Amino acid sequence: MLKIGLTGNIGSGKTTVAKVFELLGIPVFYADDEAKKVMVTDELLIDSIKQTFGAQSYFEHGTLNRKHIAGIVFNNEAELKKLNALVHPAVFRAFDNWILTIKTAPYVIKEAALLFESSSYKMCDRSLLVSAPLENRIARVMQRDGISQAEVESREARQFPEDRKKQLADDIIINDDRQLVIPQVLALHKLYLSLAKN
């Protein structure tokens, strides 16, 4: 089955694009939602997190102690890398298991903020980048999340620069509030359907 990795920097509109593909009947795996899920369901991952960040990473009833984890990884690049190195393989496992449940779709989409950063694009047949100018993205996120420009920029800094992603992506959708997104999605849908047949 054809696997398409979908990504875009913060505020690019990648989730909106994913929803359009879903309307076309294409199953979408949301890696970032899945990451939250596996942190409380994947026993291998839970054990690794406890070993790396302490038993207090989880409350007695099994929920994640987000405050404890955030206190360690927030503003600490090395600790965040450690956490990601544990979580990403668990999300890869979840994606592999999810694919087994898809029976009839011509192709599937894996939507992930860190598609390139986590190297998970290598597990996909093609990668699709949703691209938008930085000023558009900052304005969108400030409006959406009610946060300051500085906060958006600090989140942006944790991702590869968009130019680097453009070099890695096979396909690009421009979401600059000038070009219509849906016709671009439909054109790619057509392309992916034809690739899935071959």
Of the candidates 116, 91, 122, the residue with the CA atom closest to the CA atom of residue 29: 91
pTM: 0.90
CATH number, domain 32-101, options 3.40.50.2000, 3.10.620.30, 3.30.70.600, 3.40.50.300? 3.40.50.300
Residue 158 confidence (pLDDT) = 81
Question: Tens place of pLDDT for every residue, the chain, 198 residues?
Answer: 999 999 999 999 999 999 999 999 999 999 999 999 999 999 999 999 999 999 999 999 889 999 999 999 987 889 998 999 999 999 999 999 999 999 999 999 999 999 998 889 999 999 999 999 999 999 999 999 999 999 888 888 888 999 999 999 999 999 999 999 999 999 999 999 999 998
Domain boundaries, the chain: 1-27+107-198, 32-101
Q: Break the chain down into helix, strand, coil percent, rounded to 5.
A: 60, 15, 30
Instruction: Confirm if 12 and 117 have CB atoms less than 8 A apart.
Output: no
> Residue 43 contacts by C-beta under 8 Å, 6 or more apart in sequence?
none
CATH number, domain 1-27+107-198, options 3.40.50.300, 1.10.3370.10, 2.70.98.10, 3.50.50.60? 3.40.50.300
